[in-house]
A and B are shown apart, each in its own frame.
Chain A
C-alpha cells in the first residue's frame, strides 16, 4: 500500500467532516481511505499537463435573476422540520464567541 493514513490525518478529517468514529471504525476508515487513494493515484499515469481543469461540461454562463423580491414570509414552513426551535428561530447549543 502506497498511501498510509495516520491517526492524526483521520482525526483531522473527522474535524473537517464533523464525523466521530469509534477506534474500530477509525482503523477501518484508515484502511479504506488508503486503498481508495492508492486507486486514485492511478490518475498520475495520465499526462494532464496543459489540460484545463473542467468543472462544467457545457459552456453555460451568465445565468442571472433580476433583483426583484419574489418570496414572502415563509417562516412557518421553514421552521417546520427544525429539531428544536424557539421564538421563530432555530435553536442550537450555545455557540461560544
Chain B
C-alpha cells in the first residue's frame, strides 16, 4: 500500500514497527503535496525543511524507544489559524501575510509531544469566515473529487489535503460547521469536540464562544486517536474543561445495540437535496440494522440558529479582529496620514470582503441602541436552542442528520449571495451554539460523484457515544475509497485559473519571503 493511502494509525504502526521511517513518511507526504498542490492549493505554507528535520528527530526518539505514541512520526497539516512558533500563520489573510508567531498553540504542542511532524499550514476561508475556502487571500482550494467544486470551508485546506492523501490527517477548527461541512464535501471524517475539550490557546479567534479545534482524518479511528492526543485541560484557556474521559479510542466499538438515535424531521424538510437525504436515511438504516433504535423527532428552532449565530459570531469577531491594526504585527498600509488613517487603511487593505462584512455587522449589532435588540436577543435564542437540544438528549443518545443541504457547490457559486451561503450552515451551526460535539462520516456519493457526509451529534461531553455510532456505521458501511492520487493529479489542468502556479504552487516556509513585504510567493497565487 502507498504511504499516501494509509490512515494515520496505520502509518504510525508501521513507523513504530520500523517498516517505514518517519523521514520516509514525511518525504511521501511532501512528494504528494508537490504533485497535487498545483491543482488543489490545500496549503498556505509547506515547511519542507522543518518537516524533514523534525521527522529525523522524531525517528531518533522512536528508534530509541522514548516515543511510542500511536501518531509518532506521522505527518500532519495544521489549519493556518493555529499559531506555530516561527512558522508563518496567516489565517489566510493578507493582514497576517508575514506573521510568525512566537509561541505554539496548545493543541499543536500536544500533537508535537506525541511525535507529530507538521508538514505545513493549510488553507482556509479568511479568519475561518466562509463555507467554501474561497475567501482565502492565498487563492481558493479545490475539491480533490472534482476540482471545479469547492472543498467546503472554512477548514477546506485541511479536508482537501486529507482527501487527496497529502497528509493522513489534519487539524481544523469549527465555529459554525467548519470541520463537519468540508469533511462532508471532501469525503473525509471530521470531529468537532464539545466546547472546552481542546484548548483554544493559540487558536486565532473568530467567535470565541463557538470556536473549537478538532481532527480531520480518513476514518473514525484516526479521529478518535487524534482527539485523544489534542484534548487537554489547559490553565491558559479559562474556558477549557477538565475531563476525565478523554480515552476516546476506547469508544471504537462496533456495537450500537439499543443506542437511541433521533433524526430531526426539521433537518429533512424542504431545502435538503434529495440525494443527500437518501444517503443520510440509508446511513440511519445501517445503524438500525445493527440494532440501534432510530426515529424521527421534532427538534424545533432550527432556522433560528443561523441568524442567532451570525449576530453572536460577528459581534465576537468584530472585537476579536480589532487587534489587527498594523501596530504589533502583520500588514501595515504603506501610505497613511496619522494614526486613524493608518488603522483604517491597514485594515481595509488587509481584510477581505467577507471579513469586513462580518466586522461591520458585528460592530453594528453591538453599537449603542442595538445591543439589546440584536445581541441579547441572539443570546436568548441561543439559550432556547440549548434547551431544545437538552430535551432531545433526554430521549436520544445521538442525533443523526446531514452536515450540509447539498454536496459541494461549484467554485464561485456561493460567494455571490451571502445569505444563501449562510443557509448552507443550517445543520451544523446550532451544534456550536449549544457547545455540543458533532462528527461527519462519509456515507455516499451523489450522481455527480461528489461525497455526502452523515452528521452525528452528541450531548455535551458525550463524544464517546458519537464515536461509537460513527465507528459502528463505518464498519457497516464498508471501505471508503478516497479519490485515487493519479486521478487528482490528472485534474491539474482544471486549476488553470488558479493564477501563476507554474512553479507547482508549493510555497516553502523558507522561501516565503516574509521578512520583506506582501510580495511573498503568495502574490503569485493571485490571492492578494
Contact, chains A and B (beta carbon distance below 8 A): yes
> Given the complex of chains A and B, what is the CA–CA distance between A53 and B365 in angstroms?
15
Judged by a CB distance under 8 angstroms, whether B265 is at the interface is no
Judge whether A80 and B304 touch: CB under 8 Å. no
Chain B residue numbers with a CB within 8 Å of A36 are: 310, 361, 418-419
Distance (whole angstroms) from the CB of A54 to the closest CB of chain B? 4
Judge whether B327 and A92 touch: CB under 8 Å. yes
Query: A78-B102, A95-B339 are known contacts. Are A19 and B360 too (CB-CB below 8 A)?
Result: yes
> Given the complex of chains A and B, what is the CA–CA distance between A81 and B327 in angstroms?
9
Judge whether A43 and B308 touch: CB under 8 Å. yes
Distance (whole angstroms) from the CB of B188 to the closest CB of chain A? 27
Among B326, B347, B363, B386, the residue within 8 A (CB) of A83 is B326
Query: A42-B303, A54-B383 are known contacts. Are A13 and B338 too (CB-CB below 8 A)?
Result: no
Chain A residue numbers with a CB within 8 Å of B380 are: 46, 48, 51-54
Distance (whole angstroms) from the CB of B515 to the closest CB of chain A? 11
Judge whether A33 and B360 touch: CB under 8 Å. yes
Contact with B along A27-53 (1 / 0, CB 8 A): 001001101110111111110100111
User: Using a Cβ–Cβ cut-off of 8 Å, how many residues does chain B contribute to the interface with A?
Assistant: 69
Contact with A along B331-349 (1 / 0, CB 8 A): 1100010111111110110
Judged by a CB distance under 8 angstroms, whether A86 is at the interface is no
Query: A20-B348, A43-B378 are known contacts. Are A52 and B383 too (CB-CB below 8 A)?
Result: yes
Judge whether A40 and B386 touch: CB under 8 Å. no
Chain A residue numbers with a CB within 8 Å of B360 are: 13-14, 17, 19, 29, 33
Among A12, A18, A63, A81, the residue within 8 A (CB) of B99 is A81
> Given the complex of chains A and B, what is the CA–CA distance between A78 and B433 in angstroms?
34
Judge whether B435 and A18 touch: CB under 8 Å. no
Interface core residue of B325, B347, B360, B386 (most chain A CB under 10 Å): B360
Judge whether B307 and A40 touch: CB under 8 Å. yes
Judged by a CB distance under 8 angstroms, whether A57 is at the interface is yes
Among A13, A39, A54, A63, the residue within 8 A (CB) of B307 is A39
Distance (whole angstroms) from the CB of A87 to the closest CB of chain B? 16
Distance (whole angstroms) from the CB of A84 to the closest CB of chain B? 7
> Given the complex of chains A and B, what is the CA–CA distance between A15 and B383 in angstroms?
32
Chain A residue numbers with a CB within 8 Å of B422 are: 39
Judge whether B435 and A58 touch: CB under 8 Å. yes
For B196, give the chain A residue with the smallest CB separation.
A58
Judged by a CB distance under 8 angstroms, whether A16 is at the interface is yes
Question: Contact residues of B with A, CB < 8 Å?
Answer: 98-100, 102, 195-196, 209, 235, 238-239, 241, 301, 303-304, 306-308, 310-311, 318, 322, 325-332, 336, 338-345, 347-348, 351, 356-357, 359-365, 367, 374, 376-384, 386, 418-419, 422, 433-435, 460
List 4 tightest A-B contacts by C-beta distance, closest first. Answer: A53-B379, A81-B329, A57-B435, A48-B380
